[in-house]
Structure 1
Amino acid sequence: MHAMNVTQARAKLFQLIANVNFNSEPITLTNSKGKNAVLIGEDDWNAIQETLYLNSIPGMYDSLKSGIETPLSECVSEKDVEW
């Protein structure tokens, strides 16, 4: 993860925002008081939030793992699912 101080970041904020969104690589923003922050793209932030939410549901991890391990030949086609 790349790091830079807030003064440097302020001078090129628009470019940093473009970079974190394009590269999906967060940037640590440092300050002299040791209280740092992390700049990440919104899509990455949303993915983190979704992962945390799904992991907070009891049994969800095991259910997802089981689904991933199920052979496609045993899966039901979406056309056959009645909504």
Structure 2
Amino acid sequence: MPTISAAKAKANLHKLMGQTAQSHEPIVITSEGMNAVLLAEEDWRAIQETVYLLSIPGMRQTIRKSLATPIGKCAKNLRW
């Protein structure tokens, strides 16, 4: 992760926001021992969704089981 001082981040905030949104690479912003991370909103939402899904009891095991299922054994048509 790239690191930048708070002063440089302030001077280049618009550019850094665009860069982060496009590259999906977070940027660490430092200032006298206090760090923060700038990341794209899309990435933040994905992190929040992952945390939510993993908070549901049994969801982690269901995902692992599903990932281990061969594609040929998956349903071709959903019956919803």
TM-score normalised by L of structure 1: 0.88
Match of 1:81 in 2: 78
User: Residue 28 of structure 1: SS of its match in structure 2?
Assistant: strand
Structure 2's unaligned 5+ residue stretches are: none
User: Residue 37 of structure 2: SS of its match in structure 1?
Assistant: strand
Structure 1's unaligned 5+ residue stretches are: none
Question: Partner letter of residue 38 of structure 2?
Answer: L
Identity %: 41
| Distance apart, 1:81 and its partner CA | 2.3
C-alpha separation between the residues in 2 aligned to 1:82 and 1:67? 17
Runs of at least 4 residues off by over 3 Å: none
Matches within 5 A, 1:42-61: 42-61=41-60
TM-score normalised by L of structure 2: 0.91
Q: How large is the RMSD of aligned CA atoms in angstroms?
A: 1.1
Q: How many residues matched? A: 80
Match of 1:24 in 2: 24
Question: Partner letter of residue 79 of structure 2?
Answer: E
| Distance apart, 1:72 and its partner CA | 1.5
